[in-house]
Amino acid sequence: MPDRPRTVTPPPKWPTALVTGASSGIGRAFAVELAAAGTKLVLVARRRDRLEALAAEVEKAGAPAPEILVADLADDDQRATVEARLADANRPVHLLVNNAGFGTRGFFAELPVETEDTEIRLNALAPVRLARAALPGMLERGRGGILNVSSIAGLQPLPHWATYAATKAFVTSFSESLHQEVRSGGVSVMALMPGFTHTEFHDRASMNRSSIPGAMWMSAEEVVRAGLQALDRNRAAHIPGFRNRVVAVVARLTPWAVSRRVVHVADRHID
């Protein structure tokens, strides 16, 4: 009886990926999706207990045992350990997912300046520093990817979300600029711009989820799958979900003088 042909499992698209903010939400979904494809994970977040639970989960599912880095990326010294890991030529990272971040909501003049400073450092500075650490090695190897999680919130001014929207506008512009700089070197850089996503983000921002129509929401898993597919196509930016793309078109066509007033009024009724 002839032997059955062996099933050969193809190697993962990204042999090793470092995911920030991996303890929950979109970051966690990235970790699970990449692990299922056989990617070796480097998990970064502040909460060790959650990282260890996630590592045990993906390893139990048959994925390679993840590496854990506990770090607050808004802290210079702790972020430096992650930068060093990304720059380690002996342990290359093929995909960097800059996902860590949070948003503050409220009247800017009344928000604690220390929190706003941390938001800027985590949402904007950390992706710059980590990308700078990862890119030289990726370019030398002639392959790699950087996926920066931005938001459609960065497409227009958002009163009561001023700092958050500004950081996401920065991340999108930064990502699209890098995309053009490095695409000829075999490296893909993309801004992923989700809309309303079921994560802990809105709880931390003290926002009532029930005020947003259910049809506007996506799951973290849907966002992640769409993001990875778009990165495979070497897109500079991607907005997952048809409704989010409609919102983005309206935002781009509406004069900012109008949109900022509309958002200001609308947000006051979201409590």
Count CB-CB contacts under 10 A for residue 224.
29
CA angle centred on 149, ends 139 and 138, rounded to 5°: 10
Residue 87 amino acid letter: A
> What is the Cα–Cα distance from 203 to 31, expressed in whole angstroms?
22
Label residue 222 exposed, middle or buried (CB < 10 Å: 0-12, 13-18, 19+).
middle
d(CA 27, CA 148): 11
Q: Do 66 and 41 contact (CB within 8 A), yes or no?
A: yes
Active-site annotation, residues:
164
